[in-house]
Structure 1
Amino acid sequence: MRRAAEQLCVTQAAVSRAVARLEDRLGYPLFDRHAQGVLPTARALDLRQRVEQSVDAIEQAFTELRKSRTRRRALRVCVVPTLGTRWLMPRLGRFQALYPDIAIELRQSRRDEDFRRDDVDVWIEIKRPSQPWPRGITARYLLGREITPVCAPEIAARLKTPANLLKEKLLYHTSYPGNWTLWLGAADVKNSNVELGGGFDLAANLIVAASSGMGVAVLQPCLVERELATGELVRPFALTTSTGRGYYVCARKATADEGVAAIFMAWLRTLTKASAV
C-alpha cells in the first residue's frame, strides 16, 4: 500500500480507501489483511490479469497525448533583413504567446531569391516589378508600399515646404535611386535634376545615417517605427506615395492554406490590418 501511494503521489490512506471502495463494488475482498501486511487474494490476481493490459493501454494513450501537446512544430521563415530586425522581430513574441507549440526558425535571406529552397516554409520578400512570382508560389501583399521623407528633428525644423528638400542632402537606397524623384513628383516639386547625396545598399545603414543628421532619407514608415516613436527621426511632411513594390508574404501554394504556414500568414495579415485602422 505504501509503495502504491508513492507511485501514485497520494497518501497511503487514500490508496486504502480506494481499495475499500473497489471491494465494496465487487462484493468480495481483494486482500487478506494480516498483522504483517496484506496479500492479494486469488480473485485479486485474476482481476489484475483481466484488466492489466487495458489499464496499460489507457496509461500509454494519456502519455502520448501529453507528448503531442508539448511537441513543437517548426516554422522556417526567410525575411528581408531590415524588415526582419526592425518590424517582424519586435512582434514575434506576440505570435509565440498565441502559438507556443510553433517554433519559428529564421533563415538568411538571399539577394536573388528563387523560392526553390527546401529549408524555408514562408518568405517575406520585396516585390520585383520586372519579375513575376513563380508559378508554384502564393504571394500576398503585407505592407511597405508607401514611402515618406524622414530626418533628424534639427533638419526638419528648417523644412517649411517640400521644395526646401532640394537644399538638403538626400540620402537614398542604392537599389532604389528613383524613390526621391517619385516622392518629389507626388509633392509637386518640379525639378528634373534631383541631386542625391549619400547612397546606402542596406536600409538599416540608411536609417542610422538619417538618425545621425547626415541628411534626409525617403523610407517606408514601417522600418523606422522605433525612431519615430522616440523622436530620433521625424516626418517633416505627412505625404506618402506608393512605390508599387512593398513586402509580400509568400509560400508554396500547396501549403499556403494549411498547417503552420497558413497560421503564420494569417497572423501577419492581422498585424497589418490593425496598423491600418
Structure 2
Amino acid sequence: MRIRSPSLHELHAFASAARHGSFSKAAEDLCVTQGAISRAIARLEEHLGQTFFFRQARGIELTASGRAYLDLVGPALQTLESAAIAQRVPAATTRLRLSVAPTLAIKWLIPRLADWQALHPQITLSLAPYQHDEDFSSPDIDAWLRPGEDDWPNGIAADYIVGREIVAICHPKELRGRHPLREPVDLLSRPLLYHTNYPNNWRVWLDAVGVSNMSLTPSADFEQVSMLVQAVMAGLGVAIVQRCLIDEELSSGRIAIPFDRPISIKRGYMLCTRRASHSNRALQQLHQWLKAQAAANHPKPVITGNA
C-alpha cells in the first residue's frame, strides 16, 4: 500500500506552529531550528497541495485549510503521543559517586541535596570517602569536590564552585557592650583563632581591608572549620572562615559577621572530573546544579587577596 500521509516530523512542526502562531516558538517547543520548522511545513504544503499559513510581518496565521487540517490531525497526534508515553520504559536510574571534603559536605552540600533530588530524581548522588592525598585513580568515583587552586593532574578538569570568599566572624556579644567591634582593627584586641592548615588567612584578610603591618598573635588554632566556628560560638575569640561554611550559624544568630567585607582568595572548592567523562549527561547536570547553588543568595567578594 502506498503511504500518502506526511511524516510525523512535518505534522508535529505544523501542529506546533499552529498552536503558537510562530515558527520560532515552534522551533523552541520542538528543540530544532526555525529553519527546520519552515522547511518541514513547506514540504507538508507541497505534499498536500495546500497553503496552511498566511505569512505576515507580525507572524503567521492559519488559513481555512490549515484550521481544517489541524482539526483532523491534532487529535491523532495527541493519541500517538499518549501511546508513546504509556509504553515508554522508565529511564534507568543513574548513580553518581561524589567525593566531597567532609566540612563542605556537612555544612554546604547535604543541606541542599533535597533540591537536587527534587530536580533529578533519576540520578542518585552518593558521597564517597574523602582522601586528603587523592590521586584521582579510583574508577568507583565519578567526581571530586575538594579544595585547591589551579594545579591538577593531567586528564583532570577542575572548575571552581564555591569557597573562595573568606570573612571575619565573632560572637554576637562582640557587637554590643562597652567596647563593641567598630572597625576591622578592633579585631586585634580580641583573641585571634586560627585554622591550623591556613594560618595566613588572618594576614590576607587584614591586609585586604587596610589593616597592614600589625603584629598578629594567635590565641589558639583548630584543624577543622567546624571546631573554629564552635570556638567562636563559645566566646573564645574571633576567626576568619569561608563564608559558604557558616550559613546555619549565621541564620540562627549564634555567630555574626562584624564587618561585611568578604575578600576573595585563590583557594576554593573545585569540582574535579575526568576530561574523558565530559559527555556524561548526569555529570553535566551535577555541574550546572552546583554552580547554581553557589550563585544563589551568596554575597559577592569586594576585595581580592592572594592566599
1:216 equivalent among 233, 238, 255:
238
SS of 1:254's partner is: helix
Offset of 1:206 from its aligned partner?
Answer: 1.1
- Which residue pairs with 1:144 in the alignment? 163
2:261 counterpart residue number: 239
Aligned pair partner of 2:211 in 189, 198, 203: 189
**One-letter amino acid matched to 2:204:** L
Which of 258, 276, 279 is the equivalent residue of 1:254?
Answer: 276
Normalising by the residue count of structure 2, what TM-score does the alignment of the two structures yield? 0.65
Residue 103 of structure 1 corresponds to which residue in structure 2? 124
Partner of 1:126: 147
For 1:201, give the aligned amino acid.
Answer: E
How far does the alpha carbon of each residue in 1:86-105 deviate from its partner, in whole angstroms, 9 at most, with x for none?
10001111011111111111
Asked if the contact 2:164/2:264 (under 8 Å) is kept, the reply is yes
Note the C-alpha offset of 1:275.
3.0
Letter in 2 for 1:80: A
Quote the residue 1:268 is aligned against: 290
What is the root-mean-square deviation in Å for CA atoms of aligned residues? 2.0
Deviation digits for residues 214-264 of structure 1 (CA, Å, limit 9, x no counterpart): 111101111000111111111000111222111111111111342311111
1:81 pairs, out of 80, 92, 102, with 102
Q: Percent identity?
A: 38
What is the deviation of 1:63? 10
Rg larger in structure: 1
Does the 8 Å contact 2:175/2:258 carry over to 1? yes
TM-score (norm. length: structure 1): 0.72
Shift of the alpha carbon at 1:192? 4.1
In structure 2, stretches of 5+ residues that fail to align are 1-83, 300-307
Match of 1:43 in 2: none
Residues 1:63 and 1:212: Cα distance change in structure 2 (over 3 Å):
same
Tell me whether 1:201 sits opposite 2:223 in the alignment: yes
Q: Which moved more, 1:191-200 or 1:216-225?
A: 191-200
* Count of aligned positions: 213
- Describe the shift of the 1:213–1:102 C-alpha distance in structure 2 as closer, same or farther (beyond 3 A): same
CA contact (8 A) 1:255 1:262 kept: no
Q: Look up the equivalent residue of 2:114 and give its one-letter code.
A: G
Moved more, 224-233 or 154-163: 154-163
CA distance in 1, matches of 2:166, 2:127: 26
Measured in 2, the distance between the counterparts of 1:205 and 1:271 equals 25
Change in 2 beyond 3 A, CA 1:209/1:276:
closer
Q: How many angstroms does 1:115 deviate by?
A: 1.4
By relative contact order (CA 8 Å, sep 6+), the higher-ranking structure is 1
Question: Structure 1 stretches (4+) deviating beyond 6 angstroms?
Answer: 61-64
Aligned equivalents of 2:283, 2:109: Cα separation in 1: 16
Aligned equivalent of 1:48: none
Deviations 1:138-169 (A, max 9, x none): 11111111111011101233211111111111
Question: Structure 2 CA distance, aligned partners of 1:240 and 1:179?
Answer: 12
Q: Which residue of 2 aligns with 1:155?
A: 174
Cα distance in 2, alignment partners of residues 229 and 246 from structure 1: 23
Give the match for residue 59 of structure 2: none
Q: Distance in 2 between matches of 1:192 and 1:234?
A: 24
2: CA distance, partners of 1:107 / 1:256: 20
Q: 1:112 to 1:144 in 2, by over 3 A?
A: same
Alignment of 1:33-112 (within 5 A): 65-66=88-89, 68-69=90-91, 71-112=92-133
Contact 1:138 1:256 in 2 (8 A): no
CA contact (8 A) 2:149 2:268 kept: no
Q: Which amino acid aligns with 1:166?
A: L
**Runs of 5+ in structure 1 lacking a partner?**
1-60
Cα distance between partner residues in 2 of 1:86 and 1:168: 26
